Amino acid sequence: MVRTYALLAWTWTRAAMAYPASFAIMTVLGLAVAGMDVAVILIVFANTTTLAGFSRDETLFLYGTANLAFCLCDMFVSNIDRISQHIKAGTLDTMLIRPVSPWLQLAADRFLPTRIGRIAQAAVVLGYALSALDLDPGRLWMVPVMIACGIVIFTALWTLAGALQFVLVDAPEVTSAFTYGTGQLTQYPFSIYGRELVRGVTYVLPLAFVNWQPALYVLDRDDPFGTPEFMRFLGPVAALVLALLAALAWRQGLRHYRSTGS
């Protein structure tokens, strides 16, 4: 499966490399688009030293961890977003006549290697935050774990978004509120958000486990909302639950499609 994906992605990369100037421009511009989110953080902290109790570098740590996972999924999975276009154009039918899972084909469809710029940008910010913050080395093991969980959670979100589009063929943009919205949500310390919103994204849709809960452990901070200590370690559970939910929804969506024949 990984091999098939890699080969598909490589074909698109080769096609993109045929125009090297364009490739370079798009990589740089992708970096600039992603960099705007960092710009906002920097401008905010040019006007204040702390935001809802968190410093600039702590915020950049939150941004870096969530964004690294988000950008990786943006590169490798987010093409699923275009499923409603494929349904309307009938190209989903052509994916269904091939001996490979349509999920894989959709994720690799028109793979954009230029998004590597964004991943680099997130990695640089994370690297900076890790070196600027005086973190307890004994807690750093959590960083790769939270990034891995973040990748699973964002992949699940994009899969859910794709599954929803089987029903919302005419309103695919609704689903960006969940995918790109989560990307936006996880850029800042959750202490800036309202209590109800944070409850919702902790207990209903467990987005707080992308970075907020584990980051509290890494940064050695108490939760301003007073959740118990063990919640910091529930990231893998949340990721697993969301992944199962997404897989189920995807199967259901595909079944719905094959029985309505859009």
Partner 1 sequence: MIELNDVGRAFKVKRAVVHAVRDLSFTVAPGEFVGYLGPNGAGKSTTIKMLCGILTPTSGRVRVAGLDPSRRRTTLARRIGVVFGQRTTLWWDLPLGDSFDLIRLLYKVDRKVFRVRLDELTQTLDLGGFLRTPVRQLSLGQRMRGDLAAALLHAPDVLVLDEPTIGLDVVSKASIRTFLRRLNAEQGTTVLLTTHDLGDIERLCRRVMVIDHGRLGFDGTLDDLMATAPEHSSIEDVVTALYTGTG
Partner 2 sequence: MLTLRRCTTIPLYARLVRYGFRKHATYVVAALAGAFTNSVFGILRAYILIALWQARPGLAGYDVTQAVTYCFITQAFIGPMQLFGVGLSIPERIRSGDIALDLVRPASLQLWSLAEDLGRAAYLFLVRGLPPMLLGAAVFGIYLPAAPGQWAAFLTGFLAAVLVSFAWRYLVALSVCWLLDERGVQSFSLVLTTLCSGMLLPLELFPGWFGEAVRVLPWAAMVQAPTDLYLGEAPVLDTLAFQAFWAVVLLAAGALATRAIRHKVVIQGG
Q: Smaller CB distance to partner 2: residue 117 or 206?
A: 117
Q: Which does 39 bind (CB under 5 to 8 A by kind): partner 1, partner 2, none?
A: partner 2
| Cα torsion 11, 15, 20, 21: sign | negative
If one asks whether residue 51 binds partner 2 (CB under 8 A), the answer comes out as yes
Region from 11-19, 70-78, 79-87, 135-143 binding partner 1, contact rule CB under 8 A: 11-19
If one asks whether residue 17 binds partner 2 (CB under 8 A), the answer comes out as no
Of 94, 127, 173, 244, the one binding partner 2 (CB under 8 A) is: 173
70 token code pair: 């988000």
169 token code pair: 């063929």
Q: Are 63 and 133 in contact (CB under 8 A)?
A: no
Nearest to 245 by CA among 177, 156, 172, 180: 156
If one asks whether residue 52 binds partner 2 (CB under 8 A), the answer comes out as yes
Q: Which does 90 bind (CB under 5 to 8 A by kind): partner 1, partner 2, none?
A: partner 1
DSSP character string of 64-89: HHHHHHHHHHHHHTGGGGGHHHHHHH
Region from 31-39, 90-98, 138-146, 239-247 binding partner 2, contact rule CB under 8 A: 31-39
**Secondary structure string (H, E, C) spanning 157-196:** HHHHHHHHHCCCCCCCHHHHHHHHHHHHHCCCCHHHCCHH
Q: Smaller CB distance to partner 2: residue 170 or 220?
A: 170
Q: Smaller CB distance to partner 2: residue 184 or 252?
A: 184
Nearest to 114 by CA among 53, 161, 71, 155: 71
Q: Smaller CB distance to partner 1: residue 13 or 55?
A: 13
Q: Which does 197 bind (CB under 5 to 8 A by kind): partner 2, partner 1, none?
A: partner 2
Q: Are 41 and 59 in contact (CB under 8 A)?
A: yes
Sequence-separated (6 or more) residues with CB below 8 Å from residue 227: 202, 213
Q: Are 37 and 70 in contact (CB under 8 A)?
A: no
Q: Smaller CB distance to partner 2: residue 32 or 140?
A: 32
Q: Smaller CB distance to partner 1: residue 90 or 228?
A: 90
* Residues in 62-101 that interact with partner 1 by CB under 8 A: 89-91, 93-94, 96-101
If one asks whether residue 177 binds partner 2 (CB under 8 A), the answer comes out as yes
What is the SS3 assignment for 221? coil
Tell me how far, at minimum, the Cβ of 193 lies from partner 2, in Å. Answer: 5
If one asks whether residue 22 binds partner 1 (CB under 8 A), the answer comes out as no
Q: Smaller CB distance to partner 2: residue 1 or 36?
A: 36
Sequence-separated (6 or more) residues with CB below 8 Å from residue 125: 38, 60, 63, 64, 67
Which residues here bind partner 2, judged by CB under 8 A? 19, 21-22, 25-26, 29-30, 32-33, 36, 39-40, 43-44, 46-52, 168, 170-174, 176-177, 180-181, 184-185, 188, 191-194, 197
